[in-house]
Amino acid sequence: MRTSLSTKPGKQRKTRYSAHSWKKHKFLAAPLSTELRTTYGRRSIPVRTGDTVRIVRGDFSGVEGKVSDIDTARQRLFVEGVTREKVAGTSEKVSVHCTKVMITRLTLDDKWRADSLRESKTAVEKTEAE
């Protein structure tokens, strides 16, 4: 999804930061695992709270856990089990950028999300039948 027609990085950042909340939700899309990709016929989908993700890049690569919280303003996810020890001895949640994760299990509690995935799956089945 293209955010701006400009090629200048500053304008690109400005349009991303000042985008509407429904557009920022779309920016939080992450790729699906190969099993989910073949099941639903989609490459990526926006991450939601409750989805299980695997971190593929960074200090916490290989860690898999549920998404506990999402910061749409900063485009960051908080994954269970990803914490850092502070100097005082307490643990603190560490945020992970949405482009560094892969979705391994989806939550389909939301009927609209389940319907959209079902529609994309039937569209793929129709093209394969032709």
CA dist list (Å): 65 to 49, 62, 126: 11, 10, 34
Lowest mean pLDDT among 33-47, 82-96, 112-126: 112-126
3 belongs to a structural domain? no
Lowest mean pLDDT among 20-29, 40-49, 82-91: 20-29
Of the chain, the percentage scoring pLDDT greater than 70 comes to: 97
78 belongs to a structural domain? yes
CATH number at residue 110: 2.30.30.30
Number of folded domains in the chain? 1
Of the chain, the percentage scoring pLDDT greater than 90 comes to: 68
The pTM of the full predicted model, rounded to 2 decimals, is 0.84
Q: What number of helices (H) and strands (E) belong to the chain? A: 4, 7
- pLDDT tier, 4 (very low <50, low <70, confident <90, very high otherwise): low
30 belongs to a structural domain? yes
- pLDDT tier, 92 (very low <50, low <70, confident <90, very high otherwise): very high
